[in-house]
């Protein structure tokens, strides 16, 4: 699909959270003029977001992608209301909110499969509402991977200040983690985060790898599995380093700027450091999918929804990452 600009599907997120007001603000940012924006959602939800933010958006309204003519502009609203004019209650999980989100997301994924869009950037989802609305998957990443027919390895990346993290294991009991720490499992996120960061403009990412045990000394996993994985990564041309002790890894890698990203063995070893340094600036990137998909990491923030207090910065950064990755991917 040769063209000067890439196409980004923009989703409003859960209508009961801060997503619609953040997307309303995002559309006013100059950087959104660097892409063709296809905002997908219900008209009433966008109107509510505009009302909260105090903004108005000059979007061309269409009811199908095929009616979009990019010669007429770069910002379109693909309305999926189909006559529905539902008022969603702010700060409440609901089946209706979940169904609305799934409708918009499924359409975006269909457009991705049809090669009509190059990236997806979405306002925060609420996992409880998604489940109530019919989501049968453990999380939205697995839903996306299934809908996009992904057979390769995939995982979630978390980002603050363009410092990226990836996990060997994620949402499993801590007692099950050691059995999963195998060379072949460790090398996969190392390779994936290295490739993803290159798409985001880092030519030779400096990849730190965390230890599993305290100080990297009180067990056998470092010697038997983690170090061999690091050595294998180096043979593949990856600038890998470690294993770094978990308790100082974020000081070494992030604060002291010795690395561009870090791969950890389990959820909290990474998330604790990441959230301590930048919970309010986090971005989530869905790694290993055929197109960039990004979102702010802070969630739906029901405590401040509807109050026009939400910080735009994570949403803006998530859009920038989607744009950069999609542009670079299109050059390949």
**φ/ψ of residue 5, rounded to 5:** -115, 150
Please state, in angstroms and rounded to a whole number, the distance separating the CA atoms of residues 320 and 323: 5
User: How large is the C-alpha radius of gyration of the chain?
Assistant: 20
**Cβ atoms of residues 91 and 52 within 8 Å:** no
Query: How many Cβ atoms sit within 10 Å of the Cβ of residue 308?
Result: 14
What pLDDT is attached to residue 281?
A: 87
pLDDT digits (tens, 9 = 90+) for 181-236: 999 999 999 999 999 999 999 999 999 999 999 999 999 999 999 999 999 999 99
CA 141 vs CA 43, 259, 287: distances in Å: 26, 26, 9
155-276 and 7-150+289-331 share a CATH fold: yes
- The separation between the first and the last C-alpha atoms of the chain, rounded to the nearest angstrom, is 14
Closest alpha carbon to 285 in 85, 144, 82, 91: 144
CATH of domain 155-276: 3.40.718.10
CA 269 vs CA 17, 152, 167, 276, 319: distances in Å: 28, 25, 9, 12, 27
CA 54 vs CA 24, 28, 48, 202, 307: distances in Å: 9, 11, 10, 37, 11
CATH of domain 7-150+289-331: 3.40.718.10
**Cβ atoms of residues 293 and 144 within 8 Å:** yes
93 Cβ contact list (under 8 Å, min separation 6): 16, 126, 128, 129, 132
What pLDDT is attached to residue 1?
A: 40
- Cis peptide bond upstream of 243, omega within 30: yes
DSSP helix/strand/coil, 183: helix
What pLDDT is attached to residue 3?
A: 53
Please state, in angstroms and rounded to a whole number, the distance separating the CA atoms of residues 69 and 67: 6
Please state, in angstroms and rounded to a whole number, the distance separating the CA atoms of residues 253 and 88: 43
**Which residue blocks in 134-250 are alpha helix, DSSP H?**
140-147, 177-180, 183-199, 221, 227-235, 246-250
Closest alpha carbon to 123 in 11, 45, 280, 215: 11
- The full set of domain ranges for the chain reads 7-150+289-331, 155-276
What pLDDT is attached to residue 2?
A: 41
Residues of the chain with pLDDT under 50: 1-2
Please state, in angstroms and rounded to a whole number, the distance separating the CA atoms of residues 55 and 27: 9
DSSP H/E element including 156: strand 155-160
């Amino acid at each position: 699909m040769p063209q000067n600009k890439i196409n980004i599907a923009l989703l409003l997120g859960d209508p009961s959270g801060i997503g619609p007001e953040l997307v309303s603000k995002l559309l006013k940012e100059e950087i959104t003029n660097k892409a063709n924006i296809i905002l997908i959602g219900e008209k009433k939800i966008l109107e509510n977001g505009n009302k909260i933010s105090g903004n108005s958006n000059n979007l061309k309204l269409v009811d199908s992608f095929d009616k979009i003519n990019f010669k007429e502009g770069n910002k379109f609203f693909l309305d999926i209301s189909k006559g529905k004019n539902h008022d969603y209650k702010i700060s409440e999980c609901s089946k209706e909110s979940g169904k609305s989100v799934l409708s918009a997301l499924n359409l975006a994924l269909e457009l991705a499969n049809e090669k009509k869009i190059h990236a997806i950037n979405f306002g925060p989802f609420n996992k409880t509402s998604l489940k109530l609305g019919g989501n049968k998957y453990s999380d939205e990443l697995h839903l996306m991977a299934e809908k996009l027919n992904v057979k390769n390895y995939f995982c979630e990346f978390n980002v603050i200040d363009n410092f990226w993290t990836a996990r060997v294991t994620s949402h499993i009991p801590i007692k099950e983690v050691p059995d999963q720490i195998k060379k072949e499992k460790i090398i996969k996120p190392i390779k994936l985060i290295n490739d993803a960061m290159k798409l985001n403009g880092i030519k030779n990412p400096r990849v730190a790898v965390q230890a599993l045990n305290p100080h990297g000394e009180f067990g056998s996993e470092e010697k038997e599995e983690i170090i061999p994985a690091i050595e294998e990564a180096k043979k593949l041309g990856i600038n890998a380093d470690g294993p770094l002790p978990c308790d100082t890894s974020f000081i070494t890698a992030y604060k002291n700027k010795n690395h561009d990203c870090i791969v950890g063995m389990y959820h909290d070893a990474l998330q604790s450091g990441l959230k301590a340094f930048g919970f309010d600036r986090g971005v989530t990137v869905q790694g290993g999918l055929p197109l960039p998909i990004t979102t702010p990491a802070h969630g739906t923030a029901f405590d401040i929804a509807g109050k026009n207090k939400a910080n735009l910065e994570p949403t803006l950064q998530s859009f920038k990452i989607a744009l950069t990755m999609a542009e670079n991917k299109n050059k390949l």
